[in-house]
Structure 1
């Protein structure tokens, strides 16, 4: 990565593929029907710069909000197809889709700091648990999903994702960090520990 690319990567506008009526993340279909030229430029007054060699976007952000997605499957392949340096991906916006399931392919992006899932259809708290390995994750949203109606929702998210500093655009305060994990989280922790011991 050249110095110029590093600078552009740090300041790059998001690769905005919102409002594209995407039902699945199908790279072949995306490249055929939308392509990199289909990136929206009106919301952020432009599109990201392109890399010198592969001509893909120099950005750490992908916006897939306001589509018709039901899961996040193949987002890793999507990032490979649109980003010059997919390993640098730090922000994905999946808000306002119909997502019920978070595919573990998202864990390939070790530098993810921001994930937006607000306005989706996630009803299983276990989906949140899948994100635990993303140790650099700092901000996440789930409001507007069925899980947000759970009486111990915020307590659960904070317990399961201790690395985050912000939930639903609201900072997590020290007292929240000190609260004991809710029964649902404790049960999940025990299940995972039991599975680990069974595999040894």
Structure 2
């Protein structure tokens, strides 16, 4: 769906839908009135359905353990969910990335820094997000893995920035870590089994 230029401009210039510092332990579809306005000097403009005209959602500095149900929140508060480009999940207790994020194919930025992700395979779930350009995972247990950066760059070849640092061309040329090769083989075997 092609949006009118004035709507697109409002979304791009607009404030984020800010649900940070709410002490949320789970993501649920809060009302529009629950968005914070003090950090960014107001809330985003509203569209025809009175939902926010924004491409950004802030859920940072809460007590979330998973991204589960983020799609319900996005659909409840954002006027054009398919245009969502940035979600900030930083400084929570997230251990699991729910595949509900894949419902937003235009995501370009995902912040997960300062969480509790300990399984590198959680990152692999983000592979289908072809528009993804910038991700953060520093401050998670996975960042202590010596192959952390090469794993992320290999698992998410579409990104150009990891942990606020550009991914350089030579990094993309490094051999894929053996753990990731195993993960690819396991996934292919599962797909073949399902087709039979």
Which residue of structure 1 aligns with residue 116 of structure 2? 121
Cα distance in 1 for residues equivalent to 2:154 and 2:17: 32
1:52-71 correspondence to structure 2 within 5 Å: 53-71=48-66
Structure 2: unaligned runs, 5 residues or longer:
none
Q: Is 1:19 the counterpart of 2:15 in the alignment?
A: no
- Match of residue 80, structure 1, among 75, 84, 96: 75
Specify the SS of the correspondent of 1:157.
helix
Structure-1 separation of matches of 2:138 and 2:28: 27
Cα offsets for 1:145-180 (capped at 9, x unmatched): 000000100000000000000000000001100000
The more displaced of 188-197 and 79-88 is 188-197
Equivalent residue, structure 1, for 2:37: 41
2:168 is the counterpart of 1:166:
no
Matches of 1:97 and 1:58, distance apart in 2: 25
Runs of 4+ aligned structure 1 residues displaced above 3 Å come to none
C-alpha separation in 2, matches of 1:3 and 1:168:
32
Gap regions ≥5 residues in structure 1: none
Cα drift, residue 11 of structure 1 = 1.3
Write the distance in 2 (CA, Å) between the matches of 1:38 and 1:152. 40
Match of 1:5 in 2: 7
- TM-score (ref. length: structure 1): 0.93
* Number of aligned residue pairs: 193
* Alignment-derived partner of residue 189 in structure 1: 184
Once residues 188 and 22 of structure 1 are traced to their aligned partners in structure 2, the CA distance between those partners, rounded to angstroms, is 33
Q: Which residue of 2 aligns with 1:99?
A: 94
1:177 correspondence with 2:172? yes
The alignment's TM-score, normalised by the length of structure 2, stands at: 0.95
